[in-house]
Amino acid sequence: MRFMVTANVPTYGLKYKPYDEMENDAIKILRGFEGGKFLKVPQALDVDSFVEFYMNATIDYARLSQDGSILGLSTLAQTSVTVFSEDGSAQSRSYPENTILLDVDIYLHSSSARSRFTFMHECAHLHYHKNLAGAVQYCNKGNQRNRCEVQANCLAAALLMPEPMVHCAFDNELKGK
Protein backbone atom coordinates (compact mmCIF):
# COMPACT_ATOMS: atom_id res chain seq x y z
CA MET A 1 0.00 0.00 0.00
CA ARG A 2 1.36 3.45 -0.85
CA PHE A 3 0.56 6.78 0.79
CA MET A 4 1.10 10.13 -0.87
CA VAL A 5 3.70 12.19 0.97
CA THR A 6 4.52 15.75 0.00
CA ALA A 7 7.71 17.65 0.77
CA ASN A 8 7.93 19.98 3.74
CA VAL A 9 5.72 17.93 6.03
CA PRO A 10 6.73 17.80 9.72
CA THR A 11 9.21 14.99 10.36
CA TYR A 12 9.68 15.30 14.16
CA GLY A 13 13.33 14.37 13.66
CA LEU A 14 12.36 10.93 12.41
CA LYS A 15 14.56 9.30 9.84
CA TYR A 16 12.90 8.64 6.49
CA LYS A 17 11.91 4.99 6.21
CA PRO A 18 11.40 3.49 2.77
CA TYR A 19 8.09 1.68 2.34
CA ASP A 20 9.85 -1.62 1.64
CA GLU A 21 11.62 -1.37 5.01
CA MET A 22 8.27 -0.97 6.76
CA GLU A 23 6.82 -3.93 4.83
CA ASN A 24 9.79 -5.99 6.04
CA ASP A 25 9.33 -4.72 9.60
CA ALA A 26 5.74 -5.99 9.50
CA ILE A 27 6.89 -9.41 8.32
CA LYS A 28 9.48 -9.61 11.12
CA ILE A 29 6.85 -8.64 13.69
CA LEU A 30 4.30 -11.16 12.42
CA ARG A 31 6.89 -13.96 12.41
CA GLY A 32 7.06 -13.47 16.18
CA PHE A 33 3.30 -13.55 16.74
CA GLU A 34 1.41 -16.86 17.05
CA GLY A 35 4.05 -18.79 15.15
CA GLY A 36 3.78 -16.57 12.08
CA LYS A 37 0.42 -18.10 11.13
CA PHE A 38 -0.90 -14.76 9.83
CA LEU A 39 1.84 -14.79 7.17
CA LYS A 40 1.18 -18.34 6.02
CA VAL A 41 -2.57 -18.66 5.66
CA PRO A 42 -4.78 -15.79 4.48
CA GLN A 43 -6.90 -14.78 7.45
CA ALA A 44 -7.85 -11.71 9.46
CA LEU A 45 -5.27 -10.74 12.06
CA ASP A 46 -6.56 -11.22 15.61
CA VAL A 47 -6.12 -7.55 16.50
CA ASP A 48 -7.23 -7.81 20.15
CA SER A 49 -4.80 -10.64 20.81
CA PHE A 50 -2.00 -8.80 18.97
CA VAL A 51 -2.52 -5.65 21.04
CA GLU A 52 -2.65 -7.52 24.34
CA PHE A 53 -0.11 -10.31 23.93
CA TYR A 54 2.39 -9.02 21.34
CA MET A 55 2.37 -5.30 22.11
CA ASN A 56 1.66 -5.76 25.83
CA ALA A 57 -0.72 -2.82 25.45
CA THR A 58 -4.14 -1.97 26.82
CA ILE A 59 -7.09 -0.58 24.88
CA ASP A 60 -9.31 2.04 26.49
CA TYR A 61 -11.95 4.48 25.27
CA ALA A 62 -12.70 8.10 26.16
CA ARG A 63 -13.96 11.31 24.59
CA LEU A 64 -10.65 12.81 23.45
CA SER A 65 -11.86 16.15 22.13
CA GLN A 66 -14.99 18.24 22.02
CA ASP A 67 -15.02 18.50 18.25
CA GLY A 68 -14.07 14.92 17.30
CA SER A 69 -10.73 16.05 15.86
CA ILE A 70 -8.63 13.52 17.84
CA LEU A 71 -9.15 10.00 16.53
CA GLY A 72 -6.97 8.19 19.01
CA LEU A 73 -3.69 8.30 20.86
CA SER A 74 -1.05 6.06 22.34
CA THR A 75 0.89 6.64 25.53
CA LEU A 76 4.63 6.22 25.03
CA ALA A 77 5.17 6.67 28.80
CA GLN A 78 2.92 6.95 31.86
CA THR A 79 1.11 10.26 31.53
CA SER A 80 -2.03 12.29 32.10
CA VAL A 81 -4.47 12.93 29.28
CA THR A 82 -7.31 15.44 29.13
CA VAL A 83 -10.60 13.72 28.37
CA PHE A 84 -14.14 15.11 28.16
CA SER A 85 -17.46 14.03 29.62
CA GLU A 86 -20.71 14.14 27.63
CA ASP A 87 -21.53 17.61 28.97
CA GLY A 88 -18.19 18.85 27.62
CA SER A 89 -16.38 19.24 30.94
CA ALA A 90 -12.70 18.39 30.85
CA GLN A 91 -10.86 16.19 33.32
CA SER A 92 -7.33 14.87 33.56
CA ARG A 93 -6.93 11.10 33.69
CA SER A 94 -3.74 9.14 34.27
CA TYR A 95 -2.85 6.30 31.90
CA PRO A 96 0.06 3.84 32.09
CA GLU A 97 2.61 3.44 29.31
CA ASN A 98 1.37 1.38 26.36
CA THR A 99 -2.25 2.47 26.48
CA ILE A 100 -4.12 2.77 23.21
CA LEU A 101 -6.93 5.24 23.71
CA LEU A 102 -9.64 5.60 21.10
CA ASP A 103 -12.21 8.35 20.87
CA VAL A 104 -15.42 6.69 22.06
CA ASP A 105 -17.74 8.54 19.65
CA ILE A 106 -15.60 7.75 16.62
CA TYR A 107 -15.28 4.13 17.74
CA LEU A 108 -19.05 3.71 18.18
CA HIS A 109 -19.79 5.15 14.74
CA SER A 110 -17.01 3.45 12.80
CA SER A 111 -16.90 0.18 10.92
CA SER A 112 -14.97 -2.67 12.48
CA ALA A 113 -12.45 -2.34 9.63
CA ARG A 114 -11.80 1.28 10.58
CA SER A 115 -11.39 0.37 14.25
CA ARG A 116 -9.03 -2.49 13.42
CA PHE A 117 -6.89 -0.14 11.35
CA THR A 118 -6.84 2.46 14.12
CA PHE A 119 -5.74 -0.14 16.70
CA MET A 120 -2.89 -1.23 14.43
CA HIS A 121 -1.98 2.39 13.67
CA GLU A 122 -1.56 3.00 17.40
CA CYS A 123 0.45 -0.23 17.74
CA ALA A 124 2.75 1.12 15.03
CA HIS A 125 3.34 4.27 17.07
CA LEU A 126 4.22 2.12 20.10
CA HIS A 127 6.62 0.11 17.95
CA TYR A 128 8.31 2.96 16.09
CA HIS A 129 7.97 6.14 18.08
CA LYS A 130 8.88 5.52 21.72
CA ASN A 131 11.99 7.67 21.27
CA LEU A 132 9.96 10.81 20.54
CA ALA A 133 10.12 13.58 23.11
CA GLY A 134 6.45 13.52 24.12
CA ALA A 135 4.70 10.94 26.27
CA VAL A 136 1.59 10.91 24.08
CA GLN A 137 1.23 10.46 20.36
CA TYR A 138 -1.98 12.24 19.35
CA CYS A 139 -3.59 11.22 16.08
CA ASN A 140 -5.58 14.13 14.73
CA LYS A 141 -7.61 14.39 11.58
CA GLY A 142 -5.32 17.26 10.59
CA ASN A 143 -1.90 15.65 11.10
CA GLN A 144 -2.17 12.56 8.94
CA ARG A 145 0.49 13.78 6.51
CA ASN A 146 3.34 14.18 8.97
CA ARG A 147 6.10 11.59 8.91
CA CYS A 148 5.07 9.99 12.19
CA GLU A 149 1.52 9.42 11.00
CA VAL A 150 2.55 8.22 7.55
CA GLN A 151 4.88 5.65 9.14
CA ALA A 152 2.12 4.47 11.49
CA ASN A 153 -0.35 4.16 8.59
CA CYS A 154 2.13 2.25 6.48
CA LEU A 155 3.12 -0.24 9.19
CA ALA A 156 -0.55 -0.73 10.18
CA ALA A 157 -1.48 -1.52 6.58
CA ALA A 158 1.45 -3.93 6.22
CA LEU A 159 0.54 -5.71 9.46
CA LEU A 160 -3.08 -6.16 8.39
CA MET A 161 -2.18 -7.15 4.82
CA PRO A 162 1.40 -8.50 4.87
CA GLU A 163 2.89 -9.07 1.44
CA PRO A 164 3.40 -12.87 1.76
CA MET A 165 -0.22 -13.35 2.86
CA VAL A 166 -1.54 -11.19 0.01
CA HIS A 167 0.51 -13.21 -2.51
CA CYS A 168 -0.79 -16.42 -0.97
CA ALA A 169 -4.39 -15.14 -1.22
CA PHE A 170 -3.88 -14.26 -4.90
CA ASP A 171 -2.36 -17.69 -5.60
CA ASN A 172 -5.28 -19.41 -3.89
CA GLU A 173 -7.74 -17.34 -5.90
CA LEU A 174 -5.99 -18.20 -9.16
CA LYS A 175 -6.00 -21.90 -8.27
CA GLY A 176 -9.70 -21.69 -7.36
CA LYS A 177 -9.11 -22.74 -3.75
Nearest approach, Cβ of residue 138 and Zn ion (Å): 7
Nearest approach, Cβ of residue 53 and Zn ion (Å): 22
Q: State the CB neighbour count (10 A cutoff) for residue 143.
A: 15
Q: Which CB, 103 or 149, lies closer to Zn ion? A: 149
- Of the candidates 39, 45, 46, which has an alpha carbon nearest to the alpha carbon of residue 169? 39
- Of the candidates 126, 121, 124, 83, which has an alpha carbon nearest to the alpha carbon of residue 105? 83
Nearest approach, Cβ of residue 42 and Zn ion (Å): 27
Residue 32 CB burial class (10 angstroms; 0-12, 13-18, ≥19): exposed
Report the distance separating Cα 127 and Cα 131, nearest Å: 10
Residues 114-173 that bind Zn ion (CB under 5 A): 139, 149, 152
Q: Which CB, 104 or 168, lies closer to Zn ion? A: 104
Q: Which CB, 45 or 139, lies closer to Zn ion? A: 139
29 binds Zn ion (CB under 5 A): no
Q: Name the residues that contact Zn ion, by CB under 5 A.
A: 139, 149, 152
